[in-house]
Chains A and B, each alone.
Chain A
Amino acid sequence: DQQVKQNSPSLSVQEGRISILNCDYTNSMFDYFLWYKKYPAEGPTFLISISSIKDKNEDGRFTVFLNKSAKHLSLHIVPSQPGDSAVYFCAATRYNFNKFYFGSGTKLNVKP
């Protein structure tokens, strides 16, 4: 049973607009969340993370929002660029617990 779900397999956005990728989790014990980006024929690379003591974390064009009551997180990319086209995975874990639970990924296509 998947504890982390990304219900949108794909998303298409125009260059310069906002991309919003969503992720839901079921385990209320999760308190640390990460987003990874994956290009074809490469491994996933770490993008941004957030701990449950925060509800927002920003890094340049990337912002992750966490809604603990809804067990939902989202990744906002503003402005989107063609180089952002990739598969994005969200992951969840507990502090001091090194097993990450990954979603199935969302393929983002940013059109020039």
Chain B
Amino acid sequence: DAGVIQSPRHEVTEMGQEVTLRCKPISGHDYLFWYRQTMMRGLELLIYFNNNVPIDDSGMPEDRFSAKMPNASFSTLKIQPSEPRDSAVYFCASSLGTTGSRNQPQHFGDGTRLSIL
């Protein structure tokens, strides 16, 4: 089965440019999460969706960040304008949420390494 697919794997761009990160979740998963990994803060949740609807965006650092999920198989994370401090690895994850008596684990993509010069 295909896992979570993220693109691009690497992105290098200059400060001020718009950056768009893409994610295709695992088919059938109804939760989608965007994380950012940095040395200082580890893995921090930026936003998550349930059935394509944003549920919690309290982790989005600034208005420069926005995320959309137009359908069940695609999501984007956009940074406009980008700044050097946005340099990090961005992960997308998906899950089935809670089923039965347990929380289902989140399945992660391989991430996008973003460098803003």
* Size of B's binding interface in residues, CB under 8 A: 28
Knowing A41-B110, A98-B97, say if A49 contacts B56 (CB, 8 Å). no
Q: Are B108 and A105 touching (Cβ within 8 A)?
A: no
- Cβ of A44 to closest chain B Cβ, rounded Å: 5
Against B, the Cβ 8 Å flags (1 = close, 0 = not) of A20-55 are: 000000000000101010000111111001010000
| Interface of A (DSSP majority class) | loop
Report if A69 contacts B (CB, 8 A): no
Which stretch in A10-18, A58-66, A71-79, A89-97 binds the other chain?
A: A89-97
The CA-CA distance from A20 to B11 in the complex, in Å, is 36
B31 CB within 8 Å of chain A: yes
Digitize B72-101: 1 where CB-to-A-CB distance is under 8 Å, 0 elsewhere: 000000000000000000010101011001
Residues of B within 8 A of A103 (CB): 42
* Interface membership of A104, Cβ < 8 A: yes
Contact partner of A43 (CB less than 8 A), chosen from B42, B93, B98, B101, is B93
A41–B9 CA distance with the chains assembled, in angstroms: 9
User: B109 interface residue, CB < 8 Å from A?
Assistant: yes
Cross-chain contact of B98 among A36, A49, A96, A104 (Cβ < 8 A):
A96
Known: A43-B91, A98-B95, A105-B42. A93 touches B110 (CB 8 A): no
B98 surroundings in chain A (CB, below 8 A)? 95-98
Complex Cα distance A98/B93, Å?
A: 12
Inter-chain CA distance A47–B111, complex, in Å, is: 18
B115 contacts partner chain A, Cβ-Cβ < 8 Å: no
Q: Which of B44, B105, B109 contacts A46 (CB 8 A)?
A: B105
Which chain A positions have C-beta within 8 A of B108? Answer: 36, 43-45
Residue of A nearest to B50 (CB): A98
Contacts of B117 in A (CB 8 A): none
Q: Would you call B13 an interface residue if the criterion is a C-beta within 8 Å of the partner chain's C-beta atoms?
A: no
Show 12 A/B contacts (Cβ-Cβ < 8 Å), sorted by A: A32-B103, A41-B111, A42-B110, A43-B110, A43-B111, A89-B42, A95-B102, A95-B103, A98-B95, A102-B42, A102-B44, A103-B42
